[in-house]
């Protein structure tokens, strides 16, 4: 309720807002978020154990050379795994992959 100065002290003006559009928008966003979360879970389940391991090390800041040394792989093999991770997660960079790995789940 918004008080408005009036001629008659007993008179009040009430302004109401129709929030059905806002409610519909919130429900639509929640629906999209839920679907995106399910799709995100499906993408993560398609990663191999090695890809999960590489992604975990990437979140710790490991570059290709460090990954290759720690996992006893060639740098070319590491790059292939990283490219497969990008495809499966639908991302385009290591930064996006790390952000995806660190996203809040819930």
- Residues shown for the chain: 106
Domain boundaries along the sequence of the chain: 20-101
Burial class (CB in 10 A: 0-12, 13-18, 19+), 78: buried
Give the predicted TM-score (pTM) of the model.
Answer: 0.59
Question: 20-101: which CATH topology?
Answer: Rossmann fold (3.40.50)
Is the model more confident about 3 or about 71?
Answer: 71
Distance of CA 16 to the CA centre of its chain: 35
CB 67 within 8 A of CB 57: yes
Rounded Cα–Cα distance for residues 36 and 95 (Å): 19
Give 105's pLDDT tier (boundaries 50, 70, 90): confident
pLDDT tens for each residue of 45-56: 689 999 999 999
């Amino acid at each position: 309720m918004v008080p408005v100065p009036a001629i008659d002290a007993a008179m009040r003006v009430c302004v109401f807002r129709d929030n059905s559009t806002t409610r519909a928008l919130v429900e639509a966003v929640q629906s999209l978020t839920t679907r995106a979360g399910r799709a995100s879970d499906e993408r993560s389940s398609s990663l191999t154990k090695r890809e999960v391991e590489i992604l975990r090390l990437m979140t710790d800041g490991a570059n290709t050379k460090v990954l290759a040394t720690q996992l006893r792989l060639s740098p070319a093999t590491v790059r292939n795994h990283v490219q497969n991770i990008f495809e499966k997660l639908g991302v385009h960079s290591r930064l996006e992959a790390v952000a995806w790995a660190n996203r809040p789940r819930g």
